[in-house]
Amino acid sequence: MSANPNVRPPLPPFTRETAIQKIRLAEDGWNGRDPAKVALAYSVDTKWRNRAEFIKNRDEAQAFLARKWAKELDYRLIKELWAFTDNRIAVRYAYEWHDDAGNWFRSYGNENWEFGEDGLMKVRHACINDLPIKESERKFHWPLGRRPDDHPGLSELGL
């Protein structure tokens, strides 16, 4: 992490290696489920489209994340690189969670990200579909928090 809290390495322009690093940092952050900490990866004026919700700044992003993780219990996420350019990364992902009634879901999605020179995410477009699953169909079984390095990714799991 940079000594300057307003700079979030790795910085664009991205290489395949730094794009993968950026994705893993995002995955780790979201798996930590701390809205205030995660929101710091986004620019103050970040713009999001998440499903049908439009977010216009970092404060709204933080509020969105707090609502999300209050609803999506035992959340575990895996992200994978799809494509990248100088300051943009396309990601596919899946996450598993359950609601307060114990109904399990695997949510599949794609995100398009755009970063500023400081490495903060300025734009995030997310498309997500929720698939009801049985608890016995879960594939993400690590303890809550960061996915272990030896846990299979999406491709290895056939997702």
Mean pLDDT score of the chain: 96
pLDDT value of position 97 = 98
Question: Over the stretch 100-111, which tens digit does the pLDDT of each residue have?
Answer: 999 999 999 999
pLDDT value of position 3 = 63
Mean pLDDT, to the nearest integer, of 130-138? 98
8 Å CB contact between 26 and 37: no
pLDDT value of position 4 = 72
pLDDT value of position 1 = 47
Mean pLDDT, to the nearest integer, of 128-153? 97
8 Å CB contact between 14 and 87: yes
Residue 6 pLDDT class (50, 70, 90 cuts): confident
pTM of the model: 0.95
* Sequence ranges of the domains in the chain: 16-137
Which residue is associated with the tokens 């609601």? Answer: 99
DSSP state of 74: E
Strand partners, 47: 123
Residue 5's identity, in one-letter code, is P
The full 3-state SS of 92-111, as one line of letters, equals: EEEEEEECCCCCEEEEEEEE
Question: Over the stretch 50-86, which tens digit does the pLDDT of each residue have?
Answer: 999 999 999 999 999 999 999 999 999 999 999 999 9
In three-state secondary structure terms, 80 is strand
pLDDT value of position 12 = 98
Write down the CATH number for the domain with range 16-137: 3.10.450.50
